[in-house]
Amino acid sequence: MANLGKPPDFDVVVIGAGFAGLGMLRRLREENGMSVQVYETGDGVGGTWYWNRYPGARCDSESYVYCFTFSKELLQDWDWSGKYPEQPEILSYLNHVADRFDLRRNIQFNTRVTSARFLEDTSLWEIETDQGDRVTAQFLITGIGCISSGNVPDIKGLDSFQGEWYHTGSWPHEKVDFAGKRVAVIGTGSSGIQSIPVIAEQAEHLSVFQRTPQYTVPARHGTVDRKFIEEKIKPNYEEVLEKARWSVGGFPIDRDERSALEVTAEERLEAYEAGWAEGGIRFLGASFKDISVDRRANDTMSEFIRNKIREMVSDPETVEKLLPTDHPFGSKRPLIDTNYFDTYNRENVELIDIRHSPIQEITPNGIRTEDEEYEFDMIVFATGFDAMTGTYFKMDIRGRNDLSLKEKWSEGPKTYLGLQTVGFPNMFMITGPGSPSVLSNMPVSIEQHIDWIADLLQFMRDGDIKSVEADENAETAWVAHVNEVAEPTMYMLADSWYLGANIPGKPRVFMPYVGGVGNYRKKCNEIADNGYEGFILDAGRR
């Protein structure tokens, strides 16, 4: 073929310019000395924080651990203003990183990768974009995000709606004005519970369409505690970060190593009240060790939250609708809110239970459920994402023997460590399915993958190795392990997007790795130390 012997256009093509793409670009360019081209659909950096500009959009990880850690100077220089970083602030942080490390010169914005094909004769990837680019690279690395394909449900009649409608995951850059409007929010996942209280304060009337009642924990958001950051975090940053890297969820917090069932009811209540008062991820993260694996232990926490809902919401009928009884706490993505339940005490807010009265259609003037017709000026879809695999399937990715990724993953994603998938040599996924990814504080997992991939690429360069591919047996064993560790957990007891349950027709497979960030890191390190066990390294091609 024409390409034989011809050097590729780039050593590496990276897709996406969020945390993953930016970090990968910097690492490979600055430390590996490789040529890198990044393609990004959006017209700026930021990924999640570029697209999700809905009111109330905020990160649930505390700001001092939701950041890059490769630069000591950056860690010391950057000051977050909020306890939890809000969307505009994360976006300006990522813009700062892009400028400070001169990353934009290798990013082509407004460019969507449409296909990527592995050329077997040269072991190169050929990448095509919607802007007409067609380039080759030795390596293809996806930094496309786990939750970056918004899911607008296929409801009859949406085209006929005469008002405005938005999805939280692709929110307009201009301010959306809710004043004087009758607004519907469909969905009570993370984006819903963040946006509902803010929209309620601005709209004339807000109707929330709820399918699943949720457990949510107060964030206790506020301005950052400067004394804590200056005295406890900044002087000890490396120690704090190491703790996060070797933890279960990527947060520097200690879990209570007792069982919820071995303490007295009073001690348990005291622990839950303390966690509730601290709020946020600490409520779950620092709690008893068996909440996520023992249903009886979990019941004590689930009931604690239900009691809080009973206390917070005044109307008994609304309380009944809000009480989550069909799944245990922590079986779906943990939610952290500001004034969510209080919002249902407002005069201008109503809750519509669409599990009992499903939406039939969207009409020119609003929404019709089985029981009633409602009129709206605006509909907000807070309906989440086609997570973990949706964004991959929007591209035509083809490996050896023209195998398409979509076909290979038709029964659910299959990977080795969430980093590679058999049949797709020299392609890596940052936080791919089968890695801790969405079950963790993601920058910790993203950076771990960035470093691991960059080290492997260096190892290959040093050893004149041209291609790397996961071994079939290693992949099969890893997929089995991912399933095995998920099986006894609460995660299997809910219809969640972790299981693909929010997307009609999607195979029901638990996609992230639940074994913990620290254990996973250890495993990846051991594999690398053993000469990249489970990967086939080939010096022969090209």
Ligand X SMILES: Cc1cc2nc3c(=O)[nH]c(=O)nc-3n(C[C@H](O)[C@H](O)[C@H](O)COP(=O)(O)OP(=O)(O)OC[C@H]3O[C@@H](n4cnc5c(N)ncnc54)[C@H](O)[C@@H]3O)c2cc1C
Dist. CA 123–CA 415, nearest whole Å: 20
Task: Compose the 180-199 pattern: x for residues touching ligand X by CB under 6 A, - for all others.
Answer: ----------xx--------
Contacts of 462 (CB under 8 A, 6+ apart): none
Minimum distance, C-beta of residue 285 to ligand X, in the bound complex (Å): 12
Our finding on whether 143 is near ligand X (CB under 6 A) is: yes
Minimum distance, C-beta of residue 169 to ligand X, in the bound complex (Å): 6
| 3-state SS assignment for residue 35 | coil
Our finding on whether 431 is near ligand X (CB under 6 A) is: yes
Binding piece for ligand X, criterion CB under 6 A, among 29-37, 154-162, 415-423, 440-448: 440-448
Q: Order of strands, edge to edge, in the sheet holding 366-369? A: 359-363, 366-369, 373-375
Nearest in space to 190 (alpha carbons), one of 506, 502, 508, 430: 502
Dist. CA 143–CA 417, nearest whole Å: 16
Q: Read off the tokens for 160.
A: 């006929």
Q: Given candidates 69, 148, 343, 435, which one binds ligand X under the rule CB under 6 A?
A: 148
Binding piece for ligand X, criterion CB under 6 A, among 48-56, 156-164, 455-463, 465-473: 48-56
Task: Compose the 372-391 pattern: x for residues touching ligand X by CB under 6 A, - for all others.
Answer: -------------------x
Greatest Cα pair distance, the chain, in angstroms, is: 75
- Pick the closer one to ligand X by CB: 61 or 343: 61
Q: Which pairing describes strands 124-129 and 134-142: parallel, antiparallel, or unpaired?
A: antiparallel
Binding piece for ligand X, criterion CB under 6 A, among 12-20, 155-163, 253-261, 303-311: 12-20
Our finding on whether 279 is near ligand X (CB under 6 A) is: no
Q: In whole angstroms, how far apart are CA 504 and each of 461, 482, 500, 525?
A: 44, 23, 8, 37
Contacts of 184 (CB under 8 A, 6+ apart): 206, 207, 208, 209, 366, 367, 374, 376, 378, 379, 380
- Pick the closer one to ligand X by CB: 187 or 366: 187
Dist. CA 115–CA 368, nearest whole Å: 40
Q: Given candidates 387, 446, 457, 482, which one binds ligand X under the rule CB under 6 A?
A: 446
First and final C-alpha spacing in the chain? 12
Dist. CA 355–CA 353, nearest whole Å: 6
Our finding on whether 12 is near ligand X (CB under 6 A) is: no
- Pick the closer one to ligand X by CB: 112 or 255: 112
Binders of ligand X among residues 386 to 425 (CB under 6 A) are 391, 395
CB atoms within 10 A of CB 346: 14
Minimum distance, C-beta of residue 342 to ligand X, in the bound complex (Å): 21
Task: Compose the 64-103 pattern: x for residues touching ligand X by CB under 6 A, - for all others.
Answer: ----------------------------------------
Binders of ligand X among residues 461 to 520 (CB under 6 A) are none
Which residues of the chain form contacts with ligand X (CB under 6 A)? 15-21, 39-42, 47-48, 50, 52, 57, 59-61, 112-113, 143-145, 147-148, 190-191, 391, 395, 430-431, 441-442, 446
